[in-house]
Amino acid sequence: MEKLSRQDLFSLEAYAEARPDFRAQVLRHKAARRIELGDHATLYFEDRMTMQYQIQEMLRVERIFEASGIQEELDAYNPMIPDGNNWKATFMLEYEDVAERRDALAALINVEDHTWVRVADMQPVYAIADEDLERETSDKTSSVHFMRFELTPQMVEAATAGAPISIGIDHPAYTVSLEPIPEPSRESLAADLKAG
């Protein structure tokens, strides 16, 4: 999937006009890319559109219009765009109660290493997590992780041909799977591989 460049972005003025329609389009697009795993874990699969929206919002909020600042945002978010043989996702652990969240994050150390995807009946692929920086301490995990799932050519071929996709977590303190994910989500993730 092609990375974003300055030419792909709206100027601040143009984005102010386009934002309501673009935002509605992105929210519809993101709905199929949000995979809930149980009550507290969610994977938000990223792609070119979700990253353009994130960059545009950052530029808008921070009032960034200089070339160097725009390039910094591109450099920060382009790595989250899939490369055609992988899926990339933001993983979030969500607990409303502060005490419950604290206890859960302590119990879920290494949860990012236990998060997987599977195409058809092939071997599960475990996440490569937090390549940008360490997000975990010896006492607790982070509530947010960035993940990459690297697929074999056979997995890419099967997924783009319509094979079912399953996603899950097999951590001792949190085990859940969605087998298979809903068809709109499967189609959206398969499109990431076709665009490679």
Helices (H) and strands (E) in the chain, counts: 6, 9
Q: SS3 for 19-59, per residue?
A: HHHHHHHHHHHHHCCEEEECCCEEEEEECHHHHHHHHHHHH
Q: Mean per-residue pLDDT for 5-23?
A: 96
Task: Supply the pTM of this predicted model.
Answer: 0.91
The size of the chain, in residues, is 196
Write out the two tokens for 105.
């994050």
State residue 131's pLDDT score: 74
Give me the domains of the chain, ranges plus CATH numbers.
Answer: 1-31+48-81 (no CATH), 35-45+82-196 (2.60.40)
For residues 55-69, one letter each, b for 16 or more C-beta atoms within 10 angstroms of the residue's C-beta and e for the rest, the string is: bbebbeeeebeeeee
- How far apart CA 39 and CA 167 sit, in angstroms, is 15
Encode pLDDT of 139-182 as tens digits. 899 999 999 999 999 999 999 999 999 999 999 999 999 999 99
Confidence of residue 135 (pLDDT cuts 50, 70, 90): low
Q: Mean per-residue pLDDT for 100-115?
A: 95
| Backbone angle region of 147, left / alpha / beta, with phi > 0 → left and psi within -120 to 50 → alpha | beta
Residue 190: pLDDT above 80?
yes
Confidence of residue 134 (pLDDT cuts 50, 70, 90): low
Confidence of residue 107 (pLDDT cuts 50, 70, 90): very high
Confidence of residue 114 (pLDDT cuts 50, 70, 90): very high
Stronger pLDDT, 130 or 132, i.e. the higher one: 130
Q: Mean per-residue pLDDT for 59-73?
A: 93
- Helix (H) or strand (E) segment spanning residue 174: strand 174-178
